[in-house]
Amino acid sequence: MTDDNLAASVAEEELSMGVSVPYVTSFCCCLNLEVGAKIVGYLHLVASLILTILSAWITSGIYDNISTVEDAGDHVYSRAYPIALAATIASIAHVLLALFLLLSAYKRWCNGLRSWVWIMVALWVAGLLYIVVSSALSGFVDSGSDIFLAFALGVVFFVVVGYCIITVNSYYLMLKSSEDMEGPAKIDY
């Protein structure tokens, strides 16, 4: 049975149970799902490492200005430090999440892949809700072209992350389907 048939059979089974999960049969039209999941893991790792380094550098710069003359009046640095520290911790968590995906992809661990998918879906939805709610509460204070550019970049970002999640989920479906096809261990008589 080919990868396409395996993913389709798992998707049909989930659809019959009332769950509709989108899936793809290849990554970027030419790579198989295993390679796609590994590429997603490496891209996640590189982006997370870059964000960790940048946010740690910014956090240390803010920390150096706490309790100085520049911070005395309005306490901008004192208020920005916890935010920068939280961003650094979140980016470190993403590094660990990317390593978890890579380990799961190389070991072909279905539960690890599924856990990564659920965590990323939760983060994806939380990020989308945060943007919508904060935009609605604060209003739009920029010009129309700035709002459009931010909207276009946000759409591209969320679509790319969504496609990566769907790719890893499709790889999970393929592995799960092949596990189900193996059945119980056979005994030689």
Tell me: the pLDDT tens digits for 72-113? 677 777 777 888 889 999 999 999 999 999 999 999 999 999
Tell me: the pLDDT tens digits for 109-141? 999 999 999 999 999 999 999 888 887 787 767
Residue with tokens 């490496």: 42
Q: How confident is the model at residue 22 (pLDDT cuts 50, 70, 90)?
A: confident
pLDDT of residue 185: 57
How is the chain split into domains, by residue range? 3-182
